[in-house]
Amino acid sequence: MTGSIAGSDLTAAAGATLGGSGSIGGAVTVNGALAPGTNGIGALSANNTLTLASTATATLELNKTGATLTNDRVRGVSNLTYGGTHAVTESGDPFAVGDTFILFSASTYSGAFSTLSLPIRSI
């Protein structure tokens, strides 16, 4: 999605992907895929609750170009409930000890991912 959906709840069904860079004002439930950005790094704002169901896959990208770190991000969430799979992809230069990324920003967090798929690269 690009742009904003004000005040309406949104559900991404199993098999569907909620992606792009935009803002959602209502509660968001993801049963399918969550992939911020549009063919690259981006941010989605969910200005309410965000629930990642047990069937969800949240795929977020990390990038390093020289000393510049960028990443997909989900921000503005009031209550975030983790569930399903969290997959992280990487691109660019090798990461270094101390490189940090904020992937989710919320007021409160609950739940847990059942599966983590993280990149493995020597530092």
Domain that holds residue 39: 2-117
H or E segment to which residue 54 belongs: none
- Position 123 in a domain: no
* Digit-coded pLDDT (tens) for 70-95: 999 999 999 999 999 999 999 999 99
Residue 122: per-residue pLDDT = 54
Number of domains in the chain: 1
pTM, 2 dp: 0.92
User: Pick from 95, 85, 87: which is nearest to 61 by CA?
Assistant: 87
**Helix (H/G/I), strand (E/B), else coil: 36:** strand
Quote the percentage of the chain above a pLDDT of 90. 87
**Which string of b and e fits 11-28 if b means at least 16 CB within 10 Å?**
ebeeeeebbbbbbbbebb
- Position 8 in a domain: yes
- Position 122 in a domain: no
